[in-house]
Amino acid sequence: MKDRAALTEVLDRELAALIRPYLPRVAAAVLVSLLLSALNGAIAWFFKPFTNAVVGAHDYALVAWVPPIVAAAFTARGFLAYLYAYLMRSAGIKLVRDTRVRLYRHLVRLPVTALGTETSARVISRLLSDTGILRLLVSDTILTVFKEVPSILTLLAVAFYRRWDVTLLALVVAPAIGAGTHRFGKGVKLKRKQAQQTIAQLTHRIAEATAGAKVIKVFGRGREMEERFAADSQVHYRQELKIVRLKEMTKVLVDVCTGFGLAFVIWYGQYLVSAGTITVGDYASALVAILMLFGPVKKVGGSYAVLQEIRGAKERMNWLEGLAEETDGDVPLPAFRSEIRFEGVTHRYRPDAEPVLRGIDLVIHKGEVLAVVGPSGAGKTTLIDLIPRFMDPTEGRVLVDGIDLRRVRLADLRALIGLVGQDVILFNDTVRENIAFGRPDATDEEIREAARRAYAHEFIQELPRGYETLLGERGLNLSGGQRQRIAIARAILKSPPILILDEATSALDSVSETLVQRALDELMQGRTTIVVAHRLSTIRNADRIVVLDHGRIRAEGRHEDLVAGSGVYRELYATFEAGRGGAAGEETGD
């Protein structure tokens, strides 16, 4: 109970901090809205003398003024209403925009392992949908506080001043309003969180339907996917409906309670009047003030439910904001001079899990091509992921030129590294931008030269708009080999001294494979290369091979030596040979 109260307090402080930059704009909007009310009041007020003047036509001087004043008043009203809406809405949209940008910046700065088992859909729903709800903070909650709370306080003061006892009587219903509103509000908060989870689920299903289109079709599961989406949408509909009902119930509650409050006041007031204790004037004045209180109280009650909704969304966003960003070191690393060293490296993905790497000691010398081989799950990817410091080892350390990676400036370290992974990520941009991803300042000639060396220039020229061709979402309109060559061109253009390759396990057709292999050879020229190898040619040509098994280095050496000596390696090599398809077949000809 106490924890929950503390959480609410923290949430409210965070919400207050979020809204602070936009307060001047909101205050200006409230000011405009007060002006607008005054103008409306004035229009109503002057209606009588104007009507008398026009209809009675006694005052000709005034009659002449009426048409321009009416036109001006309505024009001013239109513009003030516009200004009010503009100020109010822009503050809300700004709040949403800035929060999204802040969250995205945070997302990009997270370590790659931080998101763990979270799906991208859950992150997307937090970034787009939960942040969208924040808009209500401006257009509802803050607005209500600015507009209604001062009226409530003024009216209460008047009512107390006139008849404090009558007013107190009206207030006996206040605790009921407070407790009921709070209870409904809690329901709204819970439902909002659930509804946002369902939004994440829907986002997930949409992503599956687009990314998994082929699988869904070939397994004939389209109908089931539709049904699941419809079922989730139905769940979301019910959750939203529940939110609407709870919010409206809050207003009903205020109506019912105020009805009772009023009944008490009328009953007691009449008694006082008939007993001659108070004057009719006092009674009427207190009654009017109390009556006028009900409208603003109802609005504040409704707003409290909205605030709970916002708290629910903020709580979900806090999960993302609570993840720690990558920690950066401060030792500059302008160049790669001699070696990468693993010292007693043990790594677990979770404290209670088995280690994936166990006591690895390994030195990779500058200029060397090191192939890492091992059965599936041996820890190869984990090993290479430690070099760009995608994560820190749980025990031991990784050093570049004798400096622990934890102390090195991350940007410097990563500037020295090129990475060509199994899954080629192409961005939703032109071929040109995709190649220049690591060097946005590269000239056209440099980009072409990189593409030529990656054996990509020819096919790029044949694309409809050459280098300016937009690659579709995830570059779907290119073949696997073409995608890989673009990734290689990207690495060639960056020209890093250290290269990390995670060879694709799936074989390409032999023509494509030859081109990719040549492009890779070109890329590896003169660079220190660590490659998770799946091709026979790669392991045969490597300066050294490291055999990983169950997180340990089981053997190390050149291909010829290992074939002669290590049992584990011979076994592995046999599986490579047995599986040689396009990839291996290519190089057996030599």
Nearer to ligand ATP, 551 or 582 (CB): 551
| CA 475 distance to own-chain centroid | 23
Nearer to ligand ATP, 333 or 553 (CB): 553
Helices 510-524 and 444-453: crossing angle in degrees, nearest 10, is 120
Comparing CA positions, the residue from 554, 556, 527, 558 lying closest to residue 542 is: 558
Comparing CA positions, the residue from 563, 524, 522, 526 lying closest to residue 545 is: 563
Give the contact letters, 381-420, x = binds to ligand ATP (CB under 6 A), - = no. Answer: xx--------------------------------------
Nearer to ligand ATP, 382 or 484 (CB): 382
Cα separation, 370 vs 383, whole angstroms: 12
Helices 280-321 and 143-162: crossing angle in degrees, nearest 10, is 150
Q: Are 332 and 415 in contact (CB under 8 A)?
A: no
What minimum distance in Å lies between the beta carbon of 184 and ligand ATP?
Answer: 42
Q: Is 380 in the site for ligand ATP (CB under 6 A)?
A: yes
Which residues share a beta bridge with 530? 370, 500
What minimum distance in Å lies between the beta carbon of 386 and ligand ATP?
Answer: 10
What minimum distance in Å lies between the beta carbon of 337 and ligand ATP?
Answer: 28
DSSP 8-state assignment for residue 326: P
What minimum distance in Å lies between the beta carbon of 532 and ligand ATP?
Answer: 6
What minimum distance in Å lies between the beta carbon of 506 and ligand ATP?
Answer: 12
Cβ-based neighbour number of residue 500 at 10 Å? 20
Q: Is 579 in the site for ligand ATP (CB under 6 A)?
A: no
Q: Is 15 in the site for ligand ATP (CB under 6 A)?
A: no
Cβ-based neighbour number of residue 110 at 10 Å? 15
Of 176-184, 278-286, 372-380, 571-579, the segment contacting ligand ATP by CB under 6 A is 372-380
Torsion of CA 221, 226, 229, 230, to 10 degrees: -140
Nearer to ligand ATP, 301 or 551 (CB): 551
Of 150-158, 205-213, 289-297, 375-383, the segment contacting ligand ATP by CB under 6 A is 375-383
Nearer to ligand ATP, 309 or 549 (CB): 549
Tokens found for residue 509? 């057709």
Choice from 374, 393, 496, 582 touching ligand ATP (CB under 6 A): 374
Which residues share a beta bridge with 552? 549
Cα separation, 418 vs 383, whole angstroms: 16
Nearer to ligand ATP, 253 or 384 (CB): 384
Nearer to ligand ATP, 289 or 345 (CB): 345
What minimum distance in Å lies between the beta carbon of 197 and ligand ATP?
Answer: 23
Q: Is 575 in the site for ligand ATP (CB under 6 A)?
A: no
Per DSSP, helices labelled H in 346-418 are 380-385, 410-415
What minimum distance in Å lies between the beta carbon of 359 and ligand ATP?
Answer: 15
Q: Is 504 in the site for ligand ATP (CB under 6 A)?
A: no
Q: Is 178 in the site for ligand ATP (CB under 6 A)?
A: no
Q: Is 351 in the site for ligand ATP (CB under 6 A)?
A: no
Tokens found for residue 423? 């899954």
Comparing CA positions, the residue from 572, 501, 571 lying closest to residue 542 is: 501
Nearer to ligand ATP, 115 or 225 (CB): 115
Please, what is the end-to-end C-alpha distance for the chain in angstroms? 74
Tokens found for residue 431? 């071929």
- Kindly give, in sequence order, each residue whose CB lies less than 8 Å from that of residue 354, ignoring residues fewer than 6 positions away: 348
Cα separation, 462 vs 422, whole angstroms: 25
What minimum distance in Å lies between the beta carbon of 549 and ligand ATP?
Answer: 9
Choice from 87, 356, 360, 489 touching ligand ATP (CB under 6 A): 356
Nearer to ligand ATP, 130 or 549 (CB): 549
What minimum distance in Å lies between the beta carbon of 208 and ligand ATP?
Answer: 21
Q: Which helix (H) or strand (E) holds 514?
A: helix 510-524
Cα separation, 123 vs 131, whole angstroms: 11
Choice from 377, 472, 526, 581 touching ligand ATP (CB under 6 A): 377
Q: Is 119 in the site for ligand ATP (CB under 6 A)?
A: no
Q: Is 349 in the site for ligand ATP (CB under 6 A)?
A: yes
Cα separation, 429 vs 432, whole angstroms: 8
Q: Is 163 in the site for ligand ATP (CB under 6 A)?
A: no
Nearer to ligand ATP, 274 or 376 (CB): 376
DSSP one-letter string for 327-356: PP--B---S--SEEEEEEEEE-SSTTSPPS
Question: Judged by CB under 6 A, how many residues of this single chain contact ligand ATP?
Answer: 11
Q: Is 113 in the site for ligand ATP (CB under 6 A)?
A: yes
Give the contact letters, 539-558, x = binds to ligand ATP (CB under 6 A), - = no. Answer: --------------------
Interface contacts to ligand ATP, rule CB under 6 A: 113, 349, 356, 374, 376-382
